[in-house]
Amino acid sequence: MASSQDAVALETTPETTASRIVRRAKSLALWLELIRNLAVRDIEVRYKHSLLGLYWAIMNPLITAGIFSFVFGVIFHASSGSIPYVVFLLTGLTFWNLFANAIISATGCITGNASMLAKIYFPRVVLPTASVFARFIDFLFSALVLIVFILLYHVPVYWTALWIVPLLGLQVAFTLGMAYLFASLNVLYRDMTQLVGLVLMVWMYVSPVMYAATNRNSTLQGALLMNPMGGILQAERDLIFVGHVTQAPFLWSAAAWAALAFVGGLAVFKRLEPLFAEVM
């Protein structure tokens, strides 16, 4: 009984570690729900007016894969080893699009919600996070298309493909970091969107999306794979079609990049956050 009296007495003193953790956990749960609601809103807004619902999420990679496989597979005879070039390319594009689309929609998410930001307080970091998760939902639909293609072409797939899940976690962490960075910088420099579009285009061509990074001279291969997205894409493809990670060291470097990007991006975002209301 003495303990309950102690608890009453404690209420007036500064909160205990335990109660602080509980409070933190509660507000975290709240913000997670907000992220979910915002992501769902994002998805719904995107597809509410299109007749076939989610069909843009599926059409986009299909058309891109079609045109690229014509240009690179038929015209330039790109080699993709044992698997058909269309499947090879679609795999790369599906994972790359998750990254690129997330960055693009996160970049404009703070400026696009200016009216809401000026009136209501909530942790601003929720917005780019929700953008990234909305694009992740898109990704799940385009992954279905990829699976259909793999089945159509009778491409053998390995059980290691299940390791894609933790690898996606790594990719999302890297994406979030970059999303925080660009979203906050875009508030200060409004033409960041243009720059991001340009950077992503160059980035895609120097990443093994449309070609394999392996079978090049070792310097070039190393350079391509040191690029965090290169290492991640290579590993993702390997896990599905090869059955083991062929370039393990570069996966570690990608993990380091992801950690760095996440922490750094979040730090920049937190640093610039107080300026948002003033600049907008």
Partner 1 sequence: MAAHALAENVSKQFKLRRDRADSVGHLLLQMIPRRTRPKPESFWAVKDVSFEIKQGRSLGIVGNNGSGKSTLLKLLTRTMQPTEGYIEMSGRMSALIELGAGFHPDFTGRENIVLNASILGIRRREIERSMDEIIDFAEIRPFIDVPVKYYSSGMHARLGFSVAVHVQPQLLIVDEVLAVGDEAFQQKCMDRIFAMKRSGASIILVSHDLGSIERLMDDALWIHGGVVRGRGIPRDVVHSYRGFLEETTARDSAAPDVKETSQTSFRVEEVTVQGLNRHEQSIAPGDPACIRVRLKNATTQAIHGYVAVSIRRPDGLEVVEISGLRDQQIITLTPGSMDVEIWASEFHLANGQYEIDVTIFDDQGRRLTNAQSAGTFRVQSQERTSGVILIPHEWRRN
Q: Can residue 260 be called a binding residue for partner 1 (CB under 8 A)?
A: no
At closest approach, how far in Å is the CB of 21 from partner 1?
18
Short-list 124, 256, 262, 119, CA closest to 186? 124
Here the tokens at position 239 are 């896990």
Q: CB 164 → partner 1: shortest distance, Å?
A: 31
The reply on whether position 14 binds partner 1 by CB under 8 A is no
Q: At what angle do helices 164-188 and 85-107 cross, to 10 degrees?
A: 40
For the CB of residue 126, give the shortest distance to partner 1 in the complex, in Å.
9
> Do the beta carbons of residue 158 and residue 242 sit within 8 Å?
yes
User: Which span sits near partner 1 by CB under 8 A: 39-47, 100-108, 142-150, 227-235?
Assistant: 39-47
Under rule CB under 8 A, how many of the chain's residues touch partner 1? 30
119 or 154: CB nearest partner 1: 119
Amino acid identity of 256?
A
Minimal distance, residue 17 CB to partner 1, in Å: 19
What is the rounded CA–CA span in Å between residue 280 and residue 277? 6
Structure tokens at 103: 């960055």
DSSP element (H, E) containing 236: helix 228-241
Q: Which is nearer to partner 1, 33 or 169 (CB)?
A: 33
- CB contact set of 228 (below 8 Å; sequence gap of 6+): 174, 253, 254, 257, 258, 261
Q: Is residue 202 a contact point for partner 1 (CB under 8 A)? A: no
Host H or E run for residue 247: none
Residue type, 223: A
Region near partner 1 per CB under 8 A, out of 93-101, 191-199, 207-215, 262-270? 191-199
Kindly tell me which of 3 and 115 has the beta carbon lying closer to partner 1.
115
Residue number with CB closer to partner 1 (216 or 270): 270
Longest C-alpha distance within the chain, in Å?
A: 83
8 Å CB contact between 42 and 138: no
Binding characters for partner 1, 108-147, by CB under 8 A (x = yes): -----x-xxxxxxxx-------------------------
Q: Tokens in use for 255?
A: 């993990």
**Quick one: which of 25, 33, 152, 271 contacts partner 1 (CB under 8 A)?**
33
Q: For residue 270, give every residue at least 6 positions away whose Cβ sits within 8 Å of its Cβ, in sequence order, or none.
A: 125
Burial class (CB in 10 A: 0-12, 13-18, 19+), 112: middle
* Residue 45 binding partner 1, by CB under 8 A: yes
Q: Which is nearer to partner 1, 6 or 191 (CB)?
A: 191
48-107 residues near partner 1, rule: CB under 8 A: 48-49
274 binds partner 1, rule: CB under 8 A: yes
Q: Which is nearer to partner 1, 88 or 276 (CB)?
A: 276
The reply to whether 38 sits near partner 1 by the rule CB under 8 A is yes
Q: Provide the binding-site residues for partner 1, judged by CB under 8 A.
A: 27, 30, 33-34, 37-38, 41, 44-45, 48-49, 113, 115-122, 188-192, 194-195, 274, 277-278
